[in-house]
Amino acid sequence: MKDVIAFLKEQGNLKIIEEELDVELEIPHVAYIEVKKDNSHPLLFTNPIYRAKKIKYDIPVLMNIFANYEITKKIFQKDPNVIGQKIEKLMKFKPPKSLIDKIKMLPELVSLKNVFPKRLKSKGICQEVIFKGEEVDLTKLPILKTWEEDGGRFITMGQVYTQSLDGSMQNVGMYRLQELGKNKLAMHWQIHKDGNDFFSQYKKANKKMPVSIAIGGDPLYIWCGQAPMPHGMFELLLYGLIRNKNARLVKSITNDIYVPEDVDFVIEGFVDPNDFAIEGPFGDHTGYYTLPEPFPVMEVTAITHKKNPIFAATVVGKPPLEDKYFGWATERIFLPLLKPLAPDLIDYNMPENGVFHNLIIAKMEHKYPGHAKQFMHAFWGVGQMSFVKHAIFVKEDAPKLTDYEAITKYILNRISKDRIFISEGIIDHLDHASCKQFVGGKLGIDATGEKVAKKIESIEDEKLLSLMQELAPEVKALKTYYKECANPITVIAVEKKESILHLFKKLEPLEKHLAILVAVDTFNNDLENPYMLIWRVVNNIDAKRDILLELFIGIDGTNKSALDGMQREWPNDVHCTKEVLEKLKHKGIIDIDEEFIKKFGLLEYQLY
């Protein structure tokens, strides 16, 4: 991993793009489209430009590093499942009882000495070139602007290194960073993250907080930055465990934060606890824009880098994206850490179109009544699992959790209203669907029971739509999925004029034909595209407000407004800029058709 480009050329079919492309919209659009392909490649842009500032960069931009499952395994140098098994073995560690046991355990014990990061006294290759004070200029870095409505250019793959006020705890997180000028960045660390917790300590003491941001280096550093480690544990311990060698750290030039010696760039500085600026909007990994909000400002005191550095970046937006592969590795590696909290957990899966925290499916060894609800409370009360909005539990005889067709049928044959549990708890900082930021509804579905009988009378979609339109003309289209199951899902596109819950009550006469009814807006939704429908619905609902259990199971997946009692501003979902796509197609940089555009919701549309 000393030469990431050589590694990606040899192992990942690195695609090199030599055409001059703008860091604003053009480069991000290419990466956004590439990662959605089945044969996605890492990308190296060798001639980035900043057209608005008339800048040509001699720093290449590397994107889509975690391009697919195979390259992700190669970055980890082993299957993430194997790493998870190693962690599970360590968690079951017992002191050896005999000399033979000690000898057998010796290789394991020796390897543990490589887990802890090592602080060097020398400078690192990340400090071969140093700019300080007045020399600092963030515009000289090929920072990207991804979406048209973004508030500016954002560093999207920064490893943000911080430490607690007393220096006893270190953390690396991956937070977006908005360029505010030549030497200022807006620090988007969210309220529930360790970085923000450390910031609160400095704010209380009224002291400036040292922060160093690393970019590039071994791709495993990047993954460590988003790993959901327990509070107070330094994420680079995982680097040592996986690589079987110590992370080698050097002290920053202008503050006391230690960073990996071999990253490409280090941006150093301090965050003044009294200095805030409006950050955003920004098209985020939910596929929606997060709205402008005050965040702390970092004053940059130095920028250091390797000779001939590479600028690593990523794109976030609608799935599937690079975070699909981050998330898969995280899911596999952290399974053993969940099992002590839920001992009968067999496996879990966070589908990419559920945007991870919006949907989880878990398989458990079901032992007694209420066991699934016990799991719900356990999941919603632990670490980053507490952000999960919708959790579905199945028992050991369920199909493989990644066989989505089979597992969906299994669940639909076991759902009933009395097995649905709605609660309330904390939700992710980026969630836009709840009436109150940070707190919202939680949905738990217990699908561990026996099959239920089909109680509805299925009819043809055309006839059902006609009957609906007699009661509610605002229903413009309809499609039913899984008619053969006990609980088919009927999805309707609605030209919304009132609360959808009122609409559901209008449809009461059709109760005998409806098991699960899901409503979405007529715009930017295609009833023939279940992948994006799931993404839309789990993003858009707050279980306490948007689920009706009185007549049939009704789910309101529409955008919310004052019609629904929603006082918060509802954000737009992200869309590519049509002119940019057409320009890239004309140049031969991308090759996509209308079917691809519609499949992944790249542009705005109105079908119904």
- CATH number of the domain where residue 252 is located: 2.30.110.10
Given a cut of 80, whether residue 106 has pLDDT beyond it is: no
Q: What is the pLDDT of residue 233?
A: 80
Please report the pLDDT score of residue 55 as a whole number. 96
How confident is the prediction for the chain on average, in pLDDT?
Answer: 91
350 within 8 A of 338, measured Cβ to Cβ: no
Mean pLDDT for 553-566 is: 94
pLDDT of 378 above 90: no
Question: Is 387 part of a structural domain of the chain?
Answer: yes
Q: Which of 447, 464, 496 is the last residue before a domain boundary?
A: 447
Burial class (CB in 10 A: 0-12, 13-18, 19+), 348: buried
Compute the average pLDDT of residues 363-383. 88
Is 295 inside a domain boundary? yes
Tally Cβ neighbours within 10 Å of residue 18.
Answer: 10
Q: What average pLDDT score do residues 286-294 get?
A: 94
Which entry of 22, 194, 284, 564 is annotated as an active-site residue? 284
Region 562-576 average pLDDT: 93
If pLDDT is split at 50, 70 and 90, which confidence band does 110 have?
A: low
Residue 460 has pLDDT above 90, yes or no: yes
Q: How far apart are CA 212 and CA 244, in angstroms?
A: 25
Q: Which residues are registered as beta bridge partners of 477?
A: 493
The single-letter DSSP state of residue 139 is G
Residue 554: per-residue pLDDT: 96
Strands 265-279 and 293-305: antiparallel
Of 398, 428, 447, the last residue of a domain is: 447
Asked, for residue 375, whether it belongs to a domain, the answer is yes
% of the chain with per-residue pLDDT over 70 = 96
pLDDT of 335 higher than 90: no
C-alpha–C-alpha distance, residues 345 and 486, integer Å: 26
- For residue 114, the Cα-to-chain-centroid distance in whole angstroms is 29
Give the pLDDT band (50/70/90) at residue 83.
Answer: confident
- pLDDT tens-digit map of 219-235: 999 999 888 877 778 88
Residue 452 token pair: 């239920």
Which tokens is 466 given? 């006609």
Domain boundary among 279, 313, 347: 313
Does 396 reside within a domain? yes
N residues, the chain? 608
Query: Does residue 208 sit in the same domain as residue 356?
Result: no
- Rounded to an integer, what distance in angstroms lies between the CA atom of residue 217 and that of residue 509? 62
- Domain with residue 412: its CATH number is 3.40.1670.10
Please tell me whether residues 241 and 340 are part of one structural domain: no
Q: Are residues 340 and 307 in the same domain?
A: no
The pLDDT of residue 467: 97
For residue 103, pLDDT beyond 70: no
Both structure tokens of 264: 């490409």
Residues 443 and 297 reside in one and the same domain: no
> Do the Cβ atoms of 199 and 271 come closer than 8 Å?
yes
The lowest-confidence range among 97-106, 163-172, 473-482, 516-525 is: 97-106
Same domain, 131 and 201: yes
Distance CA 513, CA 460 (A): 10
- The answer to the question of residue 568 being in a domain is no
Residues 283 and 170 in one domain: yes
pLDDT at 425 over 80: yes
Q: Which of 249, 243, 166, 168 is nearest to 212 (CA)?
A: 249
What DSSP letter does each residue of 293-315 carry, written as one string? EEEEEEEEEEEEE-SS--EEE--
For the segment 107-135, the average pLDDT, to the nearest whole number, is 85
Burial 488-512 (b: 16+ CB within 10 A, else e): bbbbbbbebeebbbebbeebeebee
pLDDT of residue 317: 95
Question: Is the same domain home to 211 and 174?
Answer: yes
- Per the annotation, the verdict on 284 as an active-site residue is yes
Nearest 5 degrees, angle CA 334-CA 338-CA 342? 160
- Which amino acid is it at 315? V
Verify that 182 and 288 share a domain, yes or no: yes
Assess if residue 106 is contained within a domain: yes
Domain of residue 404, residue span: 335-447
| pLDDT score at 189 | 84
Helix ranges (H only) for 122-235 are 194-205, 219-226
Distance CA(288)–CA(539), nearest Å, equals 9
Residues 114 and 236 sit within 8 Å (Cβ to Cβ): no
Is 311 within 8 Å of 62 (Cβ atoms)?
yes
- Residue 7 clears pLDDT 80, i.e. is over it: yes
For residues 362 and 405, state if they share a domain.
yes
Q: Is residue 423 part of a domain?
A: yes
Answer for the pair 244, 113: CB distance below 8 angstroms, yes or no. Answer: no
pLDDT at residue 228 in the model: 80
Which among 428, 380, 432 is positioned nearest to 541, based on CA atoms?
A: 432
pLDDT at 136 over 90: yes
Q: Answer yes or no: is pLDDT of 524 > 80.
A: yes
Q: Residue 355 has what pLDDT?
A: 87
Res 52 pLDDT > 90? yes
Number of domains in the chain: 2
The pair of three-digit structure tokens given for residue 199, joined into one six-digit string: 């910031």
Confidence of residue 315 (pLDDT cuts 50, 70, 90): very high
Please state the rounded mean pLDDT for residues 231-242.
86
Whether residue 344 sits in one domain with residue 287: no
What whole-number distance in Å separates Cα of residue 174 and Cα of residue 475?
42
Q: What pLDDT score was predicted for residue 588?
A: 94
Q: Categorize the per-residue pLDDT at 382 as very low, low, confident or very high, splitting at 50, 70 and 90.
A: confident
Least confident of 127-131, 454-458, 470-474, 525-529: 454-458
Q: Is the pLDDT of residue 368 over 60?
A: yes
**Mean pLDDT across 458-477:** 96
In this structure, of 112-116, 311-315, 346-350, 547-551, the range with the lowest mean pLDDT score is: 112-116
Q: What is the DSSP string of 74-99?
A: HHHTS-HHHHHHHHHHHHT-----SH
Supply the pLDDT for residue 98: 63
Domain-located, residue 307: yes
Are 429 and 376 within one domain?
yes
Q: Are residues 367 and 402 in the same domain?
A: yes
pTM, 2 dp: 0.91
pLDDT of residue 129: 96
Report pLDDT for 99.
Answer: 57
